[in-house]
Amino acid sequence: MAEVEVCPLAELPPGSVTAAEVDGTRVCVANVHGEVYAVQDSCPHLFANLSAGELKGASIVCPWHDSEFDMRTGSTKRWLPSGMWDLINRTAPPMPPFLEAKLKPSRIRAFRTRVVDGVVRVSDD
Ligand code: FES
């Protein structure tokens, strides 16, 4: 288990996003209405940095193709709405569940966060 200090909580006000690194993995850290959450920073589609995306409520939106992930759980809320996936969904017959599960990740990795003495900390346990 590795735990790192990210920044003072005062430097991450509600609605803001930053990046950190935990044990060699880039992490996207966001303040969602006063609660701090962290997920992997690399989008599972083409590896854009999610920390460069937009925080909408509790969701981080990928800056490249608008996939959306819940910062609280890592669950995928939208997958490729501005890309090929949307085209397939609109034009092709429904995909078998096993194939959809392979092509569309149900979640990304979430990390544990805590605030200690006013400092945001993230760990990979
Ligand atoms: S890189 Fe994130 S949706 Fe394409």
Give pLDDT tens digits for 16-61: 999 999 999 999 999 999 999 999 999 999 999 999 999 999 999 9
Q: Is the confidence at residue 102, as pLDDT, over 80?
A: no
Q: Give the DSSP H or E segment for 70.
A: strand 68-70
In the chain, % of residues over pLDDT 90: 75
State how far the Cα of 100 lies from the Cα of 104, in Å rounded to an integer. Answer: 6
CA of 27 from ligand 1 middle (Å) equals 16
Residues 65/54, Cβ–Cβ less than 8 Å: no
Q: How high does pLDDT run on average in the chain?
A: 93
**Type of residue at 65:** H
Instruction: Please state the pTM of the whole predicted model.
Output: 0.89
Residue with CA at minimum distance from ligand 1 atom 3 = 65
Q: Can you tell me which atom of ligand 1 is nearest the CA of 50? A: 2
Say whether domain 3-119 belongs to CATH 1.10.3720.10.
no
Residue 117 is classified by DSSP as: T
| Residue of 33, 32, 103, 114 lying closest to 74 (CA atoms) | 32
